[in-house]
Amino acid sequence: MVVNGGVEFLGKNSLEHLKKQGMSHSQQPHLSTASLVERLIMVATTLLATVRLLQTMPSIKNGYVEGIGSVQLDLALLVVWTWCVYSIRFPNARQEGHRIWGTDVKCYRTEVDDGSFYGALLIPIMSVAKLVDIHKSSKNDSYIEFIQTNTELCILLGCGVILHMFLSKHFTIKKLATIWTIAITSGLSIMIYLILSNFERLPLLKKLPWQYILFSQTFYHVSLYSIAYLFKKSFTFGELAIVAQSITLLAVEAWVVTVNEVFPLYSPVSIRSDSIKFFEYPHPITIFQIALILGMLLIGILLSPFLFRSRYLAQQPMWKAKDPHSFETEKKWTACIIYGGTIIIVLCCLGQWVQMLLKANPYLWIFKFIVDSSTRILLMIYWIAALGISLFLFNYISRTRKHFSLNAKRKYFHALAVAMFIPGYLLDPLFMDLAFSIALSALIYLEYLRYFAVFPVGKQLHLFLSEFVDNRDAGPAILSHIYLLVGCAGCVWLKGNSKIAGLSGILTLGLGDSMASIIGRKYGRRRWHGTSKTFEGTAAFIIFVLLGTAMIDSFLITDQVFTFSQATNATFFDRIAAFGPRLPEDGLEGHLIPLDMIESDNINGCRALEKPFVTPAIVLVERGHCSFIEKVRNMQSSGALAVVVGDPERNGLITMYATGNTSDIQIPSVFVGQKDYSELRSISLISGNPILIMLVKDDLLQWPLLDVIIVVILSPTVVMIFIYVLWRIRQRQLNRQDIAPQQVVCNLPRKIYRQSKRQENDPQECAICLDDYADGDELRIMPCKHEFHVGCIDSWLTTRKKFVSVIFD
């Protein structure tokens, strides 16, 4: 807890952790392994991804992406190798779970299985799912090759996890410097790549320059060891591997775009063969995402001397300082250097990097991106109001309720995530993508301030976040809130074509997990074998996720197409593209012309018309053969007023996305499913002439929950003023009731700690700050006979509560 601004962490003391598990001090922690059922589920999921990719391949009607069949075999081989390395042990193999080669068991969380299967297979599975999604949407061979290259890289990173699983189990090292273990494992990973490429595996990676492989593998293994040593007990082996792989993918993309921008002619990375395009210029939102997330890591590295100095100063009790005034001054100056250094890095490093890639001022770009849409402004107001009201209510409930369980606290913020994220994603997925990146970078920076006790907010952050600590936060970092955000944001960052898929993380964590926990704890009677989870909780999870999905799916219609002709008047539903302008407020009216009525061999719109439109018209084109953005560009250059893209094979609406710079698109485009596409085309062919249609902007204006959102957005000012007045009144009452008078605290007895006089059952550490007692420390003796550092207990009783709730017996 806190001693005069000094911060320590619940769970840091491994001795206490061993006591809680009933272990003796001489016992080593043991890493458990996954059950057979869990392994079978991961294998089944991997094989399902392989089958889905196999089923998607025939849908490529024009051309063949080189090596696409190889991905299926590579993924199948990866899961077989993972199972074999996981299950087969040589006679001299270790009995403990898997870990990074050369690291100690104490670097990992031990109360759950090592997560090796997830670490090796999860990122490759997600990459294959993205590849399947791209096949179904754009069918642009060059972009598919780019995604496939990343998929092959993910499979190679998965092989790196298998390498560590094998080495940690069969080869023990005790006194080898970390730099050598990094060099050895990186070299072995590159050898694995060379062997696989020699057997015609990973065909697209094989065509890349050697610098790409060297950078990716070296950075990956540096990340693995850095996270293992810096965040001891914060991750399982599998979680650590997933985090390292995610950071590596971001770093590789940042490295590629930077090298291609700085050395476009001379860098080997900029060389692109005719058969492969492994470099796809990222969307501006992706550039900001890379800068925000990797930028926070860069800030931590560059400012590490000052951050560690701040933590050291915070751990020194003020009452021991020879000159308290200079002691406080040094803490403040260190904090100023940290804040000033952050501003300099953001402005001079990150800002300049983004500006180099965007060819525009990043801060003005963000400002214009937000103010160009009234929806985004309203969303920001809604988020600020919802967050402010929720934090106030949480603080009020914590003070007024005697019992506010940890589970209730955590699920409270799960509900807040649902309330904030679902409307944001439905109204503006691209803005939600950016908002998630900003939120994650902010949480990482706040964790710096908390852990290193940076003046003046480190103490308050630690006190607040410590209320949510559980056994998953046994390491130095408190990650529960970051886990929640990343879990909700991950599916959004993948930029899939299905909005339900984009919401799956939010529904799973925010709704399913919360209801499973609440119902399982209250009504659960039958438990799954070997776990604390109940059948009732699992059933609640499945039911509420499916219910939430069904409810949201019924609200996903965003726009409408009205047709007016002598044959029929009808209404069709469509979805606006993620690129290009929005529809006008009063709709867009024009004559619909199926493209094959003009050029029979150009039904997909993959080339511009030989004779542009004399009168602007709304063009109906068929999905397939080229990307969405290419269709719209071709029709725009042909003089079209708008574009309607129809799916000839499947019903259901998807959101059309595009990579790279889309600022040249000046006309709106929408997507319709197979049934509506066929009917629109039939109406046009029956009439023999262009039919008049109107594209009507809806943007969820007929959504049943919109009234509730509007109330929340328009009334936060009145609500906040009312609540603030109540809070001030309540605060005065609490200040009189909950804290102990200074004079009473000062009259409590004291003593000077002597190690030589310590009894066998006397505690060795202060239960508030978790610092060990040292000879000469002044302790305050409570009426209950518990003892604490004078600075710790005096600060607690006079500023927090009359009793101490962190006593460990």
CA distance linking residue 485 with residue 125, whole number of Å: 21
Residues 219, 363: Cα–Cα separation, whole Å: 30
Largest CA distance in the chain: 103
Residues 6+ apart with CB under 8 A from 526: 534, 535, 536
The pLDDT of residue 562: 47
Say which residue the tokens 């090292």 belong to.
Answer: 173
Please determine, for residue 481, whether its predicted confidence score (pLDDT) is greater than 70: yes
**What is the token pair recorded at 5?**
């601004």
Q: How confident is the model at residue 5 (pLDDT cuts 50, 70, 90)?
A: very low
For 471, the 3-state DSSP assignment is: helix
Better-predicted residue by pLDDT, 191 or 598: 191
Q: Residues with Cβ < 8 Å from 339, sequence gap 6 or more?
A: 454
Identify the weakest region by mean pLDDT among 270-279, 310-319, 397-406: 270-279
Mapped onto helix, strand or coil, the DSSP state of residue 559 is strand
CA proximity to 148, closest of 210, 70, 221, 258: 70
711 confidence band (pLDDT: 50, 70, 90): very low
The three-class DSSP label of residue 671 is strand
Q: Which residues contact 388 (CB under 8 A, 6 or more apart)?
A: 716, 720
Say how far apart CA 149 and CA 156 lie, in whole Å. Answer: 11
Question: Do residues 644 and 621 touch, judged by C-beta distance below 8 A?
Answer: yes
What does the DSSP 8-state code read for residue 562? E
3-state secondary structure of 113: strand
Bridge partners of 625?
Answer: none
Q: Which residues pair with 670 in a beta bridge?
A: 576, 644
Q: How many CA atoms lie within 13 A of 237 on its CB side?
A: 32
452 within 8 A of 519, measured Cβ to Cβ: no
**Three-state DSSP class for 281?**
coil
pLDDT value of residue 420: 87
Which of the given ranges, 398-402, 507-511, 792-796, has the highest pLDDT on average? 507-511
The span from the CA of 286 to the CA of 660, in Å, is 10
**Sheet containing strand 787-789, strands side by side:** 750-752, 778-781, 787-789
SS3 per residue for 636-670? HHCCCCEEEEECCCCCCCCCCCCCCCCCCCCCCEE
Lowest-pLDDT range of 143-147, 478-482, 533-537, 772-776: 143-147
Asked if residues 581 and 668 have their Cβ atoms less than 8 Å apart, the reply is yes
Q: What angle do CA 633, 143, 244 make, to 5 degrees?
A: 135
| pLDDT over 80 (residue 245) | yes
Distance CA 412, CA 430 (A): 26
What count of other Cβ atoms lies within 10 Å of the Cβ of residue 305? 10
3-state secondary structure of 5: coil
What distance in Å separates the CA atoms of residue 360 and residue 370, rounded to the nearest whole number? 15
Using N-to-C axis directions, what is the helix angle for 406-427 and 429-451, rounded to 10°?
150
Task: Return the number of other C-beta atoms located less than 10 Å from residue 607's C-beta.
Answer: 15
CA nearest neighbour of 234 among 471, 485, 443: 471
Burial 3-29 (b: 16+ CB within 10 A, else e): bbbbbbbbbebeeebbeeeeeeeeeeb
> Tokens in use for 322?
């020879």
Collapsing DSSP states into helix, strand and coil, what is residue 67?
coil
* Highest-scoring range by mean pLDDT, 216-230, 492-506, 793-807: 216-230
Global confidence as pTM: 0.69
Chain length of the chain:
809
**Helical (H) or strand (E) element with 672:** strand 669-672
Helices (H), ranges, 359-465: 362-371, 374-400, 406-427, 429-451, 458-465
More reliable by pLDDT, 177 or 403: 177
Percent of the chain with pLDDT over 70: 77
Give the tens place of pLDDT for each residue, 618-646.
888 998 888 888 899 988 888 888 899 98
What residue ranges do the domains of the chain occupy?
31-264, 559-703
Output phi, psi for 270, to 5 deg: -85, -5
With a CB cutoff of 8 Å and minimum separation 6, the contacts of 430 are 285, 578
Amino acid at 192: I
Please give the structure tokens belonging to residue 274.
Answer: 């005719």
pLDDT tens across 45-77, in order? 888 887 777 776 554 444 444 545 577 777 778
Q: What is the 3-state secondary structure (H, E, C) of 744-773?
A: HHHCCCEEECCHHHCCCCCCCECCCCCCEC
Q: Is CATH 3.40.47.10 the right assignment for the domain spanning 559-703? A: no
Residue 244's pLDDT is what? 93
pLDDT higher than 80, residue 670:
yes
Distance, in Å, from the CA atom of 475 to the CA atom of 107, rounded to the nearest integer, reads 9
Q: Are 618 and 643 in contact (CB under 8 A)?
A: yes
CA 161 – CA 236 distance, rounded (Å): 13
| Residue in 121, 131, 192 with CA at minimum distance from that of residue 154 | 121
Q: What is the DSSP letter of 508?
A: I
pLDDT at 809 over 60: no
Q: Other CB atoms closer than 10 Å to residue 559's CB: what's the count?
A: 24
* Residue 107 to residue 100: CA distance in whole angstroms: 9
* pLDDT > 90? residue 247: yes
Q: Give whole-number Cα distances, 468 to 72, 464, 504, in Å.
A: 42, 8, 24
Residue 750 has pLDDT above 50, yes or no: yes
pLDDT at 217: 92
In which band, very low, low, confident or very high, does the pLDDT at 664 lie, cut at 50, 70 and 90? confident
Q: Are 32 and 491 in contact (CB under 8 A)?
A: no
Least confident of 39-48, 152-161, 328-337: 39-48
Q: Is 33 or 464 the better-scoring residue by pLDDT?
A: 464
